[in-house]
Amino acid sequence: MLEEFKKFILQGNLIEIAVGLILALKVKDVVDSLVADVITPIIAAAGGQPNFDSLVIDIGDGEIRYGAFLNTVLSLLIVGFVLFLIVKAYNKAMEMRRASESVEDAPDDIVLLREIRDSLQNRA
């Protein structure tokens, strides 16, 4: 049983997932700092407030802290945009890799025909 556990823990996929999770948590810290320390103060200064946390609506003895909600929504949008850029860059890199692999695997006459096609497309 111990040997099975060791094999499970040392599998490549599990290690890759753990590394990805740790990096994701650190990226979250960076994005949270960007939102809290840079973007929110700039937006809040335009609105005349030092930050969004002070924006509340009092209802009887309770309060609705919609400023904190705005901070969270802003953070979500920024994290989503950063992830979009990362995925876009990854897809572009994979596309370039596939293209170079297909050129390397193709026979010489196919490569020459592709070069001619690309040259003709660049002229037009």
Q: What are the pLDDT digits (tens) for 55-73?
A: 889 998 999 999 888 878 8
**Distance between terminal CA atoms of the chain?**
66
The percentage of residues in the chain with a pLDDT greater than 70, rounded to a whole number, is: 91
**What's the helix, strand, coil split of the chain in %, to 5?**
80, 5, 15
Length of the chain: 124
Other CB atoms within 10 A of residue 40 CB = 21
Whether the predicted pLDDT of 123 surpasses 80: yes
pLDDT in tens, 57-114: 999 899 999 988 887 888 788 878 878 888 899 999 989 888 777 656 667 777 778 8
Question: What integer pLDDT is reported at residue 92 of this predicted model?
Answer: 93
Tell me: pLDDT of 12 over 70.
no
CA angle at residue 32 from 27 to 36, to 5 degrees?
155
Contact status, residue 38 vs residue 51, Cβ threshold 8 Å? no
DSSP element (H, E) containing 123: helix 108-123
Q: Which domains are assigned to the chain?
A: 2-97 (1.10.1200.120)
